[in-house]
């Protein structure tokens, strides 16, 4: 049975300050938990309403559905919830495409971008300090285990870009060069901006290229694409070019 103090601790992990205080974050659902268990993340506890086939009985605690509802952050709780330690990520050398996120706020967008990076083999994402916390329960849920395979660091983007002046840095903007007429360097950084305000002027002026996704429809009622959709389109074009040039 879960104690009142344990329930309160887990509930508090919805807030960043308590995740930092206890150095813990939540993963929900046996499928997602399995990704983290078989990664470098350190497991603290698992609470499940059913036996977990890939673990010994001593590695998790069986609880009731009512208890799971008290600690879950989902409207419809999955069958298990786990606590993992928050690791320390260090900046790695830039190889291939890397992503830089400037004040991205929506957890769903963040989770989708992490999944995109994982799908395309992008090994690192650099986030401005004001970007949504990757250990926010909604980000963890939306990333679907991809968080275990992408190195994500938080740092000042101006310092990051000025420290990598030899790289091509591509900023995304509504007014820029046509994506499909842009030649990408094999080692590059793609900067994606805030959902409402885009990339800050201070960061944008340091970028070597500014690109945009052109419209093709005759009736143009959509104001813009969301940041995760834009990232998917641009990353796809980048890898299409790199693959074509590599095989030519």
For every one of its 248 residues, what pLDDT tens digit does the chain have, with 9 covering 90 and above? Answer: 899 999 999 999 999 999 999 999 999 999 999 999 999 999 999 999 999 999 999 999 999 999 999 999 999 999 999 999 999 999 999 899 999 999 999 999 999 999 999 999 999 999 999 999 999 999 999 999 999 999 999 999 999 999 998 899 999 998 899 999 999 999 999 999 999 999 999 999 999 999 999 988 765 666 778 999 999 999 999 999 988 876 54
Domain with CATH 3.30.1330.30 in the chain: 4-85
With beta carbons less than 8 A apart as the criterion, state whether 208 and 171 touch: no
- Spatial neighbors of 80 by CB under 8 A, at least 6 apart, are 28, 29, 30, 33, 46, 47, 48, 49, 50, 52, 60, 68
Domain 97-247, CATH class in plain words? alpha beta
What are the start and end residues of each CATH 3.40.1280.10 domain in the chain? 97-247
What pTM value is reported for the model?
A: 0.93
Exposed, middle or buried: residue 245 (CB in 10 Å: 0-12, 13-18, 19+)?
exposed
Cα angle 82-155-141, degrees, rounded to a multiple of 5: 25
CA atoms within 13 A on the CB side of 84: 25
Please state, as a whole number, how many other Cβ atoms lie within 10 Å of the Cβ of residue 225.
15
CA distance 101 to 203: 11
Predicted confidence at residue 222, as pLDDT, reads 65
d(CA 131, CA 203): 14
Helices (H) and strands (E) in the chain, counts: 9, 10
CATH 3.30.1330.30 fits 4-85, yes or no: yes
In terms of DSSP bridges, do strands 61-62 and 97-102 run parallel, antiparallel, or are they unpaired? unpaired
Please tell me the predicted confidence (pLDDT) of residue 243: 84
At 218 the pLDDT is 67
Question: pLDDT at position 220, please?
Answer: 64
Dig out the tokens for 155 from the structure. Answer: 């740092």
């Amino acid at each position: 049975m879960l104690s009142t103090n344990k329930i309160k601790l887990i509930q508090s992990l919805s807030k960043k300050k308590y995740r930092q205080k206890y150095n813990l974050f939540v993963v929900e659902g046996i499928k997602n938990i399995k990704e983290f268990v078989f990664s470098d993340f350190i497991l603290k506890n698992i609470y499940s309403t059913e036996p977990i086939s890939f673990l010994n009985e001593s590695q998790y605690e069986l609880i009731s559905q009512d208890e799971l509802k008290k600690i879950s952050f989902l409207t419809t709780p999955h069958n298990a919830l786990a606590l993992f330690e928050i690791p320390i990520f260090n900046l790695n050398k830039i190889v291939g495409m890397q992503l830089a996120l400037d004040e991205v706020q929506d957890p769903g967008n963040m989770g989708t971008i992490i999944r995109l990076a994982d799908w395309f083999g992008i090994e690192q994402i650099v986030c401005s300090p004001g970007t949504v916390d990757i250990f926010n329960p909604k980000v963890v849920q939306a990333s679907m285990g991809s968080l275990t395979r992408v190195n994500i660091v938080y740092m000042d983007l101006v310092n990051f870009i000025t420290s990598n002046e030899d790289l091509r840095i591509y900023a995304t903007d509504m007014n820029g060069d046509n994506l499909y007429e842009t030649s990408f360097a094999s080692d590059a950084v793609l900067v994606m901006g805030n959902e409402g305000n885009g990339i800050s002027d201070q960061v944008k002026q340091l970028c070597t290229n500014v690109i945009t996704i052109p419209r093709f429809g005759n009736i143009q009622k959509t104001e813009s694409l969301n940041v995760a959709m834009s990232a998917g389109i641009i990353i796809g074009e980048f890898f299409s070019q790199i693959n074509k040039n590599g095989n030519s």
